[in-house]
Amino acid sequence: MADTAEMRERGGTLMFIGLAVWVSDLLVVFFLPAGIRAGMHTAFTAIIAVLAVLGLVLMVAGYRMRGGSESS
């Protein structure tokens, strides 16, 4: 029982971290026009893509961890 609760908590934590990464990604998107004007659009685009994928991976991993503990 304690193991199931721990897995649900760990999954929720991963989902929250993934959401926080997406929020930081939105901050990078906010500064994208300044990066384009400075000539650094490829760097900004790469950072946006990496943060989006990282956030998605964390969200999916957390969801699967929580979902896997519910079915057991």
d(CA 4, CA 10): 10
pLDDT surpasses 70 at 70: no
Condensed to tens digits (0 to 9), the pLDDT of residues 25-40 reads 999 999 889 888 888 8
Say if CB 17 and CB 5 are below 8 A apart. no
Query: Where do the domains of the chain lie?
Result: 2-71
pLDDT given at position 60: 94
Condensed to tens digits (0 to 9), the pLDDT of residues 37-69 reads 888 889 889 999 999 999 999 999 999 998 754
pLDDT surpasses 50 at 19: yes
pLDDT surpasses 80 at 21: yes
pLDDT surpasses 50 at 72: no
Q: Cα 30 to chain center, whole Å? A: 17
